[in-house]
Amino acid sequence: MENIVNGCNRGRLVIFLLFSSFLLHAEKFVFTTAWTPQAEFAGYYVAKEKGFYRDVGLDVVFRSPSLTGSVYHRLETDGCDAGMFSLMAAIDIVAHGTSLVNIFQTSMNSSYLIVSRWGKNPLAQRGGRLAVYMSEPNYLAFILDRKRRMNFEWVFFTGNINVFLSGGVDAMAVVSYSEFLLLRQAGFEMKEGSLFRFKDHGYNIQENGVYVKRDYFESHPEQVRRFAAASRRGWEWAALHPEETLDIVMGYVRRENVQTNRVIQRLMLEEILRLQIDSDSGRREFRVRPDMVRRACLLMRDFGMIDREVSYQELMGRTKRLGVDN
Residue 325 domain-assigned (yes or no): no
Domain boundary at 153, 184, 201, which? 201
* Residue 31 DSSP class: E
Question: Do 160 and 230 reside in the same domain of the chain?
Answer: no
Residue 3 domain-assigned (yes or no): no
Residue 45 domain-assigned (yes or no): yes
Asked if the model's pLDDT at residue 280 lies above 60, the reply is yes
Residue 9 domain-assigned (yes or no): no
d(CA 158, CA 37): 15
| pLDDT tier for residue 200 given thresholds of 50, 70 and 90 | very high
Question: Do 217 and 96 reside in the same domain of the chain?
Answer: yes
Question: Do 105 and 215 reside in the same domain of the chain?
Answer: yes
Write out the residue range of the structural domain in which residue 171 sits: 112-201
pLDDT at 134: 83
- Indicate which CATH number applies to the domain containing 255: 3.40.190.10
Residue 122 domain-assigned (yes or no): yes
Cα–Cα–Cα angle for 30, 32, 36, rounded to 5 degrees: 130
C-alpha radius of gyration, the chain, whole number: 22
Question: Do 81 and 221 reside in the same domain of the chain?
Answer: yes
Residues forming a β-bridge with 156: 132
Question: Do 77 and 196 reside in the same domain of the chain?
Answer: no
* Intra-chain end-to-end CA distance of the chain, in Å: 70
Question: Do 119 and 85 reside in the same domain of the chain?
Answer: no
Name the more confident of 12 and 162.
162
Of 236, 286, 316, residue with least CA distance to 107:
286
d(CA 55, CA 22): 9
pLDDT at 161: 93
What is the separation of C-alpha 153 from the centre of its chain, rounded to a whole number of angstroms?
27
d(CA 9, CA 269): 43
Q: Summarize the confidence of residues 231-237 as an average pLDDT.
A: 98
